């Protein structure tokens, strides 16, 4: 199965080729180096095994939608209530994007303006604060909610926010920086605490999460991940949130495509259980880079105030592309794609285990696999670099209780959405597992100039990188990216 058959996304190679050639010609007449870089990026993506779990390939229809006159519009406000005139066409595409999102995920409300997943999370956090945080110090002045504050109230607000708590998954267990950690603004808004995973299995222990929530009493219970290779029972997480009076926010940025494709359903679908759901529109959903928020009715109005509370002007051209991507995901073939993502991840995990690679949680339920490369004597940085030298694009990632910290790490995160888009199946992913294991087994750490073991330097046995690149090229040739698209 090719990446973008015409029946799936309207991709016609002849039409798309003409469109891109014309676009590059126009760009090149102004700055040829940019046009060259665009062409080079396509060539690079076509010639490497892209296994970064947070990346994918958008359809030509989605990509082309972002390059148009909507980019020139300011459209602060919401549909039918703008602070600029002449936004009737923006209203059309934003309403379409929200409609498709609601129908795709079965959500009562959708807000499609966030520029990224971080923005979507900030919108959600402020919406919860606006709905739930009372500021007793200001009650005498008649101010009870965040959205009622004047400029003079901000010092009091900062103090009030310092008293609010968020409980989320720890970074080394697979959580995300935006879930209340200090380097991110969320860690400055909330007092944060984490729940981890069972040291022996790497899995969530919901009794431990419940006990931590009862002890910490958070305003927000955060669920979701960027490097946890298993499903989460969101029905149980909602029970825990209700028991402690917390608002459940689920960040489904990584697995939104699996929710859209109904691979994650019932207790594992966050939308019926969470008060607010945030997401990106790319990754496994295969849309443009951007974010969106799904909310229960009691949070809808507060969510819609994301601009100007958190966001700058909406990006109408990206909202238009979201509408196209959501429309694509509502087609029956997207459910087949989502299922193949999970099946391929299972095949990749089994192939790696069979070849002696240690996996965090010993497998996967979703789109990603987390390798612990310490058994090869490598850091994550060494493994990531050696794989890149061999034509395999991954990213290093922390593992639970990682002794190498967040920079060098002991793990490598890989995912199946992008190569599944190209048409890879389980047999091809087993071959990919073989290539990964070969490279890791042939990589040796080297010493620093002072003779100490290096966390970054390495050597690869002669011929392994070239042999791996050749094998990867054979796999990629069988599943071309944007088949038939010719930039000339």
Domains of the chain and any CATH numbers: 70-133+164-329 (3.40.640.10), 333-477 (3.90.1150.10)
pLDDT, residue 2, reads 43
Which residues pair with residue 371 across a beta bridge? Answer: 359, 412
308 prior amide bond cis, ω within 30 = yes
**Phi, psi angles (nearest 5°) of residue 386:** -65, -40
452 Cβ contact partners less than 8 Å away, ≥ 6 residues apart: none
**CA 415 – CA 341 distance, rounded (Å):** 9
pLDDT score at 408 = 93
| Residue 466 to residues 159, 170, 229, 463, 487, Cα–Cα distance (Å) | 58, 38, 30, 5, 27
Residue 6 has a pLDDT of 41
CA 394 from centroid of its chain's CA atoms: 15
Distance in angstroms (rounded) separating the CA atoms of residues 483 and 413: 28
pLDDT tens, the chain, 488 aa long: 445 544 344 468 888 889 999 999 999 999 999 999 999 999 999 999 999 999 999 999 999 999 999 999 999 999 999 889 999 999 999 999 999 999 999 999 999 999 999 899 999 988 998 877 765 555 545 555 556 666 665 555 556 555 688 899 887 877 877 776 667 776 677 778 889 899 989 999 999 999 999 999 999 999 999 999 999 999 999 999 999 999 999 999 999 999 999 999 999 999 999 999 999 999 999 999 999 999 999 999 999 998 888 888 899 999 999 999 999 999 999 999 999 999 999 999 999 999 999 999 999 999 999 999 999 999 999 999 999 999 999 999 999 989 999 899 999 999 999 999 999 999 999 999 999 999 999 999 998 777 777 888 989 999 999 999 999 999 999 999 999 888 88
The full DSSP string for 122-161 is HHHHHHHHHHH---GGGGGGT--SGGG--GGGHHHHHHHH
Q: Which phi and psi angles does 413 have, rounded to 5°?
A: -100, 130
pLDDT on residue 164: 81
CA 212, distance to chain mean position in Å, is 26
CA distance 220 to 347: 36
Q: Are 113 and 311 in contact (CB under 8 A)?
A: yes
Q: Which residues are catalytic?
A: 74, 76, 251, 280, 283, 289
> Distance (Å, rounded) from C-alpha 44 to C-alpha 145?
50
Burial class (CB in 10 A: 0-12, 13-18, 19+), 156: middle
pLDDT reported for residue 178? 77
Query: Across the strands, what pairs with 445?
Result: 458
State the residue for tokens 């990509």: 63
* Model pTM score: 0.91
């Amino acid at each position: 199965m090719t990446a973008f058959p015409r029946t799936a996304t309207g991709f016609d190679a002849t039409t798309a080729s003409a469109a891109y050639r014309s676009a590059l010609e126009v760009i090149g007449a102004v700055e040829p180096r940019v046009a060259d870089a665009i062409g080079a990026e396509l060539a690079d993506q076509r010639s490497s095994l892209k296994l970064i779990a947070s990346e994918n390939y958008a359809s030509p229809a989605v990509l082309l939608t972002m390059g148009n006159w909507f980019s020139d519009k300011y459209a602060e406000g919401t549909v039918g209530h703008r602070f600029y005139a002449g936004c009737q066409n923006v209203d059309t595409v934003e309403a379409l994007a929200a409609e498709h999102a609601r129908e795709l995920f079965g959500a009562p409300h959708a807000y499609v303006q966030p520029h990224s997943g971080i923005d979507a999370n900030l919108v959600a956090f402020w919406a919860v604060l606006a709905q739930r945080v009372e500021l007793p110090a200001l009650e005498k002045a008649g101010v009870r909610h965040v959205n009622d504050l004047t400029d003079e109230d901000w010092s009091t607000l900062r103090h009030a926010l310092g008293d609010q708590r968020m409980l989320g998954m720890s970074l080394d267990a697979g959580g995300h920086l935006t879930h209340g950690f200090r380097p991110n603004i969320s860690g400055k808004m909330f007092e944060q605490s984490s729940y981890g995973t069972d040291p022996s299995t790497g899995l969530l222990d919901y009794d431990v999460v419940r006990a931590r929530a009862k002890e910490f009493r958070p305003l927000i219970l955060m669920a979701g991940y960027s490097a946890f290779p298993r499903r989460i029972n969101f029905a149980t997480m909602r029970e825990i949130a209700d028991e402690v009076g917390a608002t459940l926010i689920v960040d489904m940025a990584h697995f939104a495509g699996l929710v859209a494709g109904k691979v994650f359903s019932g207790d594992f679908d966050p939308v019926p259980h969470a008060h607010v759901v945030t997401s990106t529109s790319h990754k496994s959903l295969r849309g443009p880079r951007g974010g969106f928020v799904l909310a229960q009715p009691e949070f809808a109005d507060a969510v819609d105030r994301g601009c100007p509370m958190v966001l700058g002007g909406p990006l109408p051209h990206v909202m238009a592309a979201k509408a196209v991507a959501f429309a694509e995901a509502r087609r029956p073939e997207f459910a087949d794609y989502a299922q193949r993502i999970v099946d391929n991840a299972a095949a990749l995990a089994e192939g790696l285990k069979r070849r002696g690679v240690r996996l965090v949680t010993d497998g996967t339920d979703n789109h990603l696999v987390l390798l612990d490369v310490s058994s090869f004597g490598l850091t994550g940085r060494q493994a990531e670099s050696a794989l890149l030298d061999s034509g395999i694009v991954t990213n290093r990632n922390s593992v639970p209780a990682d002794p190498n910290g967040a920079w060098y790490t002991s793990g490598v995160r890989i995912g199946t959405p992008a190569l599944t888009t190209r048409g890879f199946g389980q047999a091809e992913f087993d071959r990919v597992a073989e290539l990964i294991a070969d490279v890791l087994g042939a990589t040796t750490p080297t010493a620093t100039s002072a003779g100490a073991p290096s966390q970054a330097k390495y050597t690869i046995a002669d011929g392994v990188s070239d042999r791996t690149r050749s094998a990867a090229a054979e796999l990629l040739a069988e599943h071309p990216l944007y088949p038939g698209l010719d930039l000339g």
